[in-house]
């Protein structure tokens, strides 16, 4: 009996990731990470993070599986990046993994400035 085909995930390209600040500003995550690489790393309590945002609304089973896989593969030794307001600018999959594993803290860096956005969302 032939085995069914394996489902393959497309390769993730982190250079295509953008962070929206919730006010219409979009930022290149790669640039934010580069700008913040010298910031100190600290242990951030997971309870201090805003976790009520809907981040994968409308995700079907395949799309959700992609995120679950990325969370499973996430490296908790890599600090997440918090923006100038304390929101998660990079690292949601790491946060998800830490929560699922029952961790109390996660390594983080926090930006203390707000850079100019790469692009702005057009008000419609």
pLDDT tens digits, one per residue of 62-92: 888 888 999 999 999 999 999 999 999 999 9
Pairwise CA distance, residues 85 & 77, whole Å: 23
Residue 15 pLDDT more than 70? no
Q: Which CATH number does the domain housing residue 108 bear?
A: 3.90.1530
Please indicate, yes or no, if residue 74 is contained in any of the structural domains. Answer: yes
pTM of the entire predicted model: 0.83
80 and 105 Cβ atoms separated by less than 8 Å: no
Residue 108 belongs to domain spanning: 40-116
pLDDT at 42: 98
pLDDT tens digits, one per residue of 25-64: 999 999 999 999 999 999 999 999 999 888 777 888 888 8
């Amino acid at each position: 009996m032939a085995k069914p085909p394996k489902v393959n995930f497309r390769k993730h390209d982190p250079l295509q990731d953008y962070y929206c600040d919730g006010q219409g500003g979009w930022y290149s995550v790669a640039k934010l990470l580069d700008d913040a690489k010298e910031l100190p790393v600290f242990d951030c309590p997971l309870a201090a993070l805003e976790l009520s945002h809907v981040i994968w609304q409308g995700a079907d089973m395949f799309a959700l599986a992609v995120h679950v896989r990325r969370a499973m593969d996430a490296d908790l030794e890599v600090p997440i990046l918090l923006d100038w307001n304390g929101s998660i600018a990079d690292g949601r999959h790491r946060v998800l993994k830490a929560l699922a594993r029952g961790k109390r803290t996660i390594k983080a860096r926090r930006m203390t400035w707000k850079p100019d956005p790469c692009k702005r969302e057009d008000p419609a």
